[in-house]
């Protein structure tokens, strides 16, 4: 059944305004659309992050669901405890309703410092949806590089200068890490224009239906850290997908499926040109860097297409 | 415009008045915190042009597009931060939301 | 008083048995010597269906306490156990659990903190966490482990407390030594701890709560002092639960225990199992005509200042035994706390610090007799060094 905006608009907003996230923040959109997607009782465990610190600032909270922030690297562990206790309390009849559990963290709290806890949660098969909103750096502490920062992107700890050219390494593939854990539902999503809201919300709902762990990483553009005009957040997200820098796919029971294929795959230069964090890459003489980034994007896209056809063959 | 609670020292709680563990029970009360003064530009809504596609509504980071029965009424001036995403995402020509310079209305 | 059974149990075994009878909603734990037996025994209980507990074998101690925080916040009764490096690893979460006012009971098997790596008993691990806001109860033996674990559930969940509790026992000396332990019936334990009626629960979507807000300078101070005062006020709950436990079992508890202290000229203050050795030394000194006594503190945090002042005020000299050091500090932890407690007391006792047993170094009554002599010197106005490392080869 197709999700319509009209249906969504009838739902109660459980992520409300008055939070302190920047104007035009991709993470705010990701969190809001997440809460529009979730139906029924839910508990959200939130890592220390832009989202956490800006949405629950004593004495205010933007969450109309139960929400728990404990620390930075342990969101998945906290959520594991909530979910396990829920199961115990259901068994003894103390809790009657059926709750869903979401652990949400930024790329910092997921790819890097939070990786262990998430790995453990996946391995123990807790029924928790882990949402990583990926803004490509430790934004909360002021735009420092993370394992999710794309190669050659500027951050305050991967500066471009006389010797440095931005982040040296390519980024981790967190969705692959989740797939490698055998997580039954893994998906990538993006805050972007067009129908990306439907792609994302649909994935959240499918993830929550799984009786086991699930993982979604949603690209959440950050204009402060990426250096673009604040009104362009959705367009930047769309461009990331249209250049195949951020492919949209889901992996269901190990079977890969691309959920959006760009009508025309755009050259990566178009994406890089929109953001100040890549301005040093586009300087004449650095064409080799663009080629490297393009090669990485192309290689990744081919790999995903190959995995997708493998999935189709399995299903046939 | 209402004054934000924090700015008013008369309501800062004593040790005895802090709730257990600082736990907040008033879910969604951030709507009492006004972020409208953050604006450097403001969205102007043209009801006559709008088709209620709701793309601006789902894209707003601050849930500041006000609806009644799924129809757009306008912008929540107390919370809109003036990012301009709504204006960019509006698919119409001319757009039903336009960004104007300056954060203050009228 | 109901008939209870008597079994031979190690400290770890006693802890596991208490946990089984309490039957919490969640146990999230990670093994570390010398706590492993608790986790293993509990795993067997779970496998045999003797508990309804969700037993979550987490991937680190940091995640163990994090999961327990999640479980307690969800309104469940949660328990865990750790030692040494594990306690150190969960250090940041200890502060959070206390400030979030979550009732959690954690058995901590005292083992020294690395480096050097050593698996034997000293109090460096729990002393390293003495400021985290938890209630810290130190056990003499396996019986106390069993009894205090059961009491801890009731203490932590008390509405006047709402704080997590650490129940500490000496590694190997208590955790792995087989002792005679009197047990309560399953039904008695359940009646004593009662059903958990959570004040805090995330699992109530009609009344959503947000836990863990960002708190600015204009609010933080009040948050923290409210928490500190609750810890201080929990002294009376520790006393009252200890008294109620005594009514049920005949074994009475409280924040401390005294041994021949009323008329003592010289006294020892100790935490944990070494107090057993001190008792023997006190007996020998008394046999020789020295009026010696022992103050064993159970509740290290909150520190029962008034009671200690009353207990020690008439002694002429006191040796405070510490099984941990505080490098660079004016004194070892317990010594510093006793000094602060007696500060300003007119005609109070003279105090010396005795650090012993680091890394599981043995302590015997024979080693304590010369300390008794020094205390007599002190009581008679002679001077003696204020600090001593008992058993150190110098």
Q: Parse chain C into domains and list their residue ranges.
A: 5-249, 256-390
What is the residue-wise DSSP string for C182-250? EE--HHHHHHHH-----SS-S--TTS--EES-B--HHHHHHHHHHHHHHHHHTHHHHHHHHHHHHHHHS
Structural domain boundaries, residue B43: 5-101
For residue A10, give the chain B residue with the closest CA: B70
The whole-number pLDDT of residue A312 equals 78
User: Count of H helices and E strands in chain A?
Assistant: 12, 10
Q: Which of A42, A99, A117 sits opposite C63 (nearest CB)?
A: A117
Residue given tokens 């290290």 in the structure block: C300
For residue B55, give the chain A residue with the closest CA: A5
**Which residues in C have their CB inside 8 Å of a CB on B?**
99-102, 162, 199-200, 207-211, 213, 215-216, 218-219, 222-223, 225-227, 229
Domains and CATH numbers, chain A: 5-315 (3.40.50.970)
By DSSP bridging, strand A214-219 and strand B65-68 are unpaired
Residues of C in contact with A69 (CB under 8 A): 210-213
Q: How many CB pairs under 8 A join A and B?
A: 122
Q: Which of left, alpha, beta for C7 (phi over 0: left; psi -120 to 50: alpha)?
A: beta
If we measure between CA atoms, which residue out of A281, A162, A158, A180 comes closest to residue A225?
Answer: A158
Does the structure show a pLDDT above 50 at C240? yes
Contact between C26 and A42 using a beta-carbon 8 Å cutoff:
no
Structural domain total, chain B: 1
Contact between A16 and B53 using a beta-carbon 8 Å cutoff:
no
Cis preceding-peptide flag for C29 (omega within 30 of 0): no
The whole-number pLDDT of residue B1 equals 29
- Residue numbers in chain B where pLDDT is lower than 70: 1-10
Does the structure show a pLDDT above 50 at C136? yes
Q: Which of A42, A67, A81 sits opposite C67 (nearest CB)?
A: A81
Fold of C5-249: Rossmann fold (3.40.50)
The whole-number pLDDT of residue A310 equals 86
Q: In angstroms, rounded to a whole number, what is the distance separating the alpha carbons of residues C14 and C11?
A: 5
* Domain C256-390, CATH number (from 3.40.50.10470, 3.40.50.920, 3.40.50.12780, 2.30.29.30): 3.40.50.920
**Is residue B106 in a domain?**
no
The CATH number of whichever domain residue B20 belongs to comes to: 3.30.70
Q: Which of C209, C219, C227 sits opposite B23 (nearest CB)?
A: C209
On the question of a common fold for C5-249 and C256-390, the answer reads: yes
What is the residue-wise DSSP string for B28-43? TGGGGS--GGG-SEEE
C29's CB contacts (< 8 A; 6+ apart) are C38, C39, C42, C56, C57, C58, C64, C80, C81, C82
Residues of B in contact with C101 (CB under 8 A): 20-21, 23
Rounded to the nearest angstrom, the minimum Cα separation between B87 and chain C is 32
For residue B11, give the chain A residue with the closest CA: A59
Grouping H, G, I as helix, E, B as strand and the rest as coil, residue A187 is strand
Contact between C205 and A123 using a beta-carbon 8 Å cutoff:
no
Does the structure show a pLDDT above 80 at C362? yes
Contact between A117 and C216 using a beta-carbon 8 Å cutoff:
no
Does the structure show a pLDDT above 80 at C104? yes
Q: Are C239 and C254 in contact (CB under 8 A)?
A: yes
For residue A84, give the chain C residue with the closest CA: C54
Give the number of other Cβ atoms within 10 Å of residue A284's Cβ.
Answer: 5
**Is residue B84 in a domain?**
yes
pLDDT tens readout for residues C293-347: 999 999 999 999 999 999 999 999 999 999 999 999 999 999 999 999 999 999 9
**Is residue B40 in a domain?**
yes
Instruction: With residue A56 as reference, give the H or E element that holds it.
Output: strand A56-57
**Sign (positive/negative) of CA torsion A298, A301, A306, A307?**
positive
Residues of C in contact with A43 (CB under 8 A): 74, 202-203
Q: Are C147 and C245 in contact (CB under 8 A)?
A: yes
If we measure between CA atoms, which residue out of A203, A221, A231, A4 comes closest to residue A133?
Answer: A221
The whole-number pLDDT of residue A203 equals 98
Q: Which of A63, A230, A232 sits opposite B28 (nearest CB)?
A: A63
The whole-number pLDDT of residue B4 equals 41
Share of chain C above pLDDT 70, in %: 99
C159's CB contacts (< 8 A; 6+ apart) are C199
Interface test with chain B among A4, A9, A15, A18, by most B beta carbons within 10 Å: A18
pLDDT (mean) for C47-75? 98
**Is residue B49 in a domain?**
yes
**Is residue B22 in a domain?**
yes
A239 touches chain B (CB under 8 A): no
For residue A95, give the chain C residue with the closest CA: C203
The whole-number pLDDT of residue B10 equals 62
The whole-number pLDDT of residue B7 equals 44
Grouping H, G, I as helix, E, B as strand and the rest as coil, residue C70 is helix
A255 φ/ψ angles, rounded to the nearest 5 degrees: -95, 130
C381's CB contacts (< 8 A; 6+ apart) are none
Q: Which of left, alpha, beta for A133 (phi over 0: left; psi -120 to 50: alpha)?
A: beta
Contact between C101 and B24 using a beta-carbon 8 Å cutoff:
no
For residue B24, give the chain A residue with the closest CA: A59
Instruction: With residue C15 as reference, give the H or E element that holds it.
Output: helix C11-22
- Residue numbers in chain A where pLDDT is lower than 70: none
Q: Which of A41, A77, A92 sits opposite C63 (nearest CB)?
A: A77
Contact between B62 and A17 using a beta-carbon 8 Å cutoff:
yes
Within the 1-60 window of chain B, which residues sit less than 8 Å (CB to CB) from chain C?
6, 12-18, 20-25, 27
């Amino acid at each position: 059944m197709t999700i319509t905006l009209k249906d969504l608009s009838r739902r109660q907003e459980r992520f409300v305004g008055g939070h302190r996230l920047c104007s035009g923040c991709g993470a705010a959109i990701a969190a809001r659309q997440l809460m529009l997607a979730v139906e029924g009782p839910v508990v959200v465990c939130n890592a220390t992050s832009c989202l956490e610190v800006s949405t629950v600032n004593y004495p205010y909270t933007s969450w109309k669901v139960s929400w728990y922030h404990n620390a930075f690297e342990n969101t998945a562990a906290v959520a594991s405890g909530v979910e396990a206790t829920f199961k115990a309390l259901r068994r003894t009849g103390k809790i009657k309703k059926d709750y869903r559990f979401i652990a949400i963290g930024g790329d910092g709290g997921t790819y890097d410092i939070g990786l262990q806890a998430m790995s453990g949660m996946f391995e123990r098969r807790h029924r928790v949806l882990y949402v990583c909103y990926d803004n490509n750096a430790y934004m909360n502490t002021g735009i420092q590089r993370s394992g999710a920062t794309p190669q050659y992107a500027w951050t305050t700890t991967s500066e471009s200068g006389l010797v440095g050219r931005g982040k040296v390494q390519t980024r981790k593939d967190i969705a692959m890490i989740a797939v490698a854990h055998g997580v039954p539902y893994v998906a990538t999503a993006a805050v972007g224009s067009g129908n990306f809201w439907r792609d994302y919300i649909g994935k959240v709902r499918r993830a929550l239906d799984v009786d086991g762990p699930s993982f979604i990483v949603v690209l959440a553009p950050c204009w402060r850290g990426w250096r673009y005009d604040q009104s362009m957040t959705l367009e930047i997200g769309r461009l990331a997908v249209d250049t195949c820098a951020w492919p949209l796919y889901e992996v269901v029971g190990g079977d890969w499926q691309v959920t959006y294929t760009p009508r025309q795959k755009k050259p990566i230069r178009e994406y890089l040109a929109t953001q100040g964090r890549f301005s040093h890459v586009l300087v004449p003489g650095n064409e080799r860097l663009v080629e490297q980034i393009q090669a990485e994007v192309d290689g990744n896209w081919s790999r995903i297409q190959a995995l997708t056809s493998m999935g189709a063959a399995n299903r046939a | 415009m209402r004054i934000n609670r924090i700015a008013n020292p008369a309501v800062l709680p004593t040790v005895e008045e802090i709730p257990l563990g600082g736990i907040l029970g008033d879910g969604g009360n951030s709507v009492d915190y006004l972020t409208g003064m953050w604006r450097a530009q403001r969205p102007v809504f043209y009801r006559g042009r709008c088709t209620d596609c709701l793309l601006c509504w789902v894209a707003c980071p601050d849930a500041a597009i006000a609806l009644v029965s799924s129809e757009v009424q306008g912008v929540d001036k107390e919370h809109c931060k003036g990012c301009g995403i709504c204006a960019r995402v509006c698919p119409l020509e001319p757009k039903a939301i336009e960004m104007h310079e300056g954060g203050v209305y009228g | 008083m109901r008939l209870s059974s008597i079994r031979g149990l190690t400290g770890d075994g006693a802890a596991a048995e208490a946990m089984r009878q309490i039957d919490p909603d969640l146990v999230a734990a990670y093994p570390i010597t010398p706590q492993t037996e608790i986790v293993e025994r509990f795993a067997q209980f779970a496998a045999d269906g003797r508990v309804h507990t969700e037993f979550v074998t987490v991937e680190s101690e940091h995640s163990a306490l994090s999961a327990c925080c999640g479980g307690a916040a969800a309104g469940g009764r949660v328990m865990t156990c750790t030692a040494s490096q594990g306690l150190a690893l969960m250090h940041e979460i200890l502060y959070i659990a206390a400030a979030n006012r979550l009732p959690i009971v954690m058995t901590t098997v005292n083992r020294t903190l690395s480096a050097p790596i050593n698996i034997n008993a000293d109090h460096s691990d729990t002393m390293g966490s003495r400021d985290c806001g938890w209630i810290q109860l130190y056990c003499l033996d396996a019986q106390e482990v069993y009894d205090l674990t059961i009491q801890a559930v009731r203490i932590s969940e008390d509405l006047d407390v709402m704080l997590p509790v650490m129940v500490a026992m000496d590694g190997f000396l208590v955790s792995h030594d087989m002792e005679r332990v009197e047990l309560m019936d399953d039904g008695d334990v359940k009646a004593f701890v009662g059903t958990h009626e959570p004040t805090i629960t995330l699992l109530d979507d009609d009344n959503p709560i947000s836990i863990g807000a960002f708190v600015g300078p204009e609010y933080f101070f009040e948050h923290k002092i409210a928490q500190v005062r609750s810890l201080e006020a929990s002294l009376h709950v520790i006393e009252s639960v200890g008294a109620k436990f005594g009514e049920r079992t005949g074994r009475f508890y409280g924040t401390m225990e005294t041994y021949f202290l009323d008329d003592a000229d010289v006294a020892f203050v100790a935490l944990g199992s070494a107090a057993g050795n001190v008792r023997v030394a006190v007996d020998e000194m008394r046999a020789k005509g020295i009026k010696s006594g022992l103050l064993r503190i159970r509740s290290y945090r909150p520190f029962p200042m008034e009671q200690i002042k009353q207990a020690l005020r008439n002694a002429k000299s006191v040796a405070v035994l510490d099984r941990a050091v505080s490098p660079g500090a004016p004194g070892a932890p317990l010594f510093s706390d006793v000094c602060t407690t007696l500060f300003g007391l007119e005609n109070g006792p003279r105090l010396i610090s005795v650090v012993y047993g680091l890394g599981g170094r043995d302590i015997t009554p024979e080693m304590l007799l010369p300390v008794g002599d020094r205390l007599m010197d002190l009581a008679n106005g002679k001077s003696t060094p204020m600090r001593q490392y008992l058993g150190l080869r110098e």
